[in-house]
Amino acid sequence: MAKGSSDTEILWAFFLVRKELFYITWVFQFLTLLLGNMGFILLGGRALKVALEISSEFSNSPLRLQYFIIITGAAFFLYSFAVPTMSAMRRWLGISTILTFTYIVILLVVLVKDGKSNDNRDYKIRGSKVSKVFNGFGAVSAIIVCNTSGLLLEIQSTLRSPAIKSMRKALCLQYSVGLVVYYGASIWAYGSTVSEYLPTELSGPKWVKVLINLAVFVQSIISQHIFDAKAFEKKFFEMFNFLTIISSEKYIVNIDEDRSE
């Protein structure tokens, strides 16, 4: 320690290097990756299900969401074998950028069109005071999770100096412009009962709905690979994917059982 360091600083430094903190950090990091991975698989499965149901060729498909989760998990497996490392994702990063802007542009165009033609929007928040409070806390939690990258610690080492200032700018932009454009526009167009998965609300031609859901499906695969590829070596990565698929399936089955009771 440098000269003049206070006892508090010395104790704090000692606490940071304790072995217990390493294990605690590992557990939280693993849970973050597991839950994030489940989110990617659930998102990809739902997008694929919606895309195939909208398509006239598959409109009578009896497949439930569980089957699409398995299909999505298989796609994740195949992609991780075909693109085993981050350096092998060169072209895929360009594809991911194109898909992202395609999704945003199409979504906003259709959303504005729907908002102008929708005269039955309801902005009232339903429920009791207690449910409104808890739903509000749940909404804030969902917004934080969805808009804050799980890789902040890894990103911090790759940002241009000064890293902290650059990260703050990115987060402020996301929580200002991002929230107003995405959440604000969707509530304006469809009211307070808008679905948490916005593509299900869109009107317009079938090809637009199919295209935007397929873009979400492919983007979920690429994003999941970027999210996890840095953390695990290949064999553990495959085991982790398998664990995530089983967890996602169990989660959906439990929801279906609760609804049927």
C-alpha to C-alpha distances, 227 to 138, 222, 231, nearest whole angstrom: 24, 9, 8
Gap between the terminal Cα atoms of the chain:
62
| pLDDT value of residue 4 | 45
Query: CA-CA distances (angstroms) from residue 32 to 6, 77, 142, 152, 211?
Result: 35, 20, 14, 12, 30
Query: Residue 209: is it exposed, middle or buried by C-beta count within 10 angstroms (0-12/13-18/19+)?
Result: buried
Number of Cβ within a 10 Å radius of residue 119 = 5
Segment-wise mean pLDDT, segments of 10 residues, the chain, 261 residues: 49 59 72 74 82 63 73 81 74 84 86 84 80 79 64 53 71 78 81 80 82 87 73 55 59 50 49
- pLDDT score of 260: 46
Provide the whole-model pTM: 0.70
Identify the DSSP state of 193: T
- Sign of the Cα pseudo-torsion (169, 220, 192, 184, in order): positive
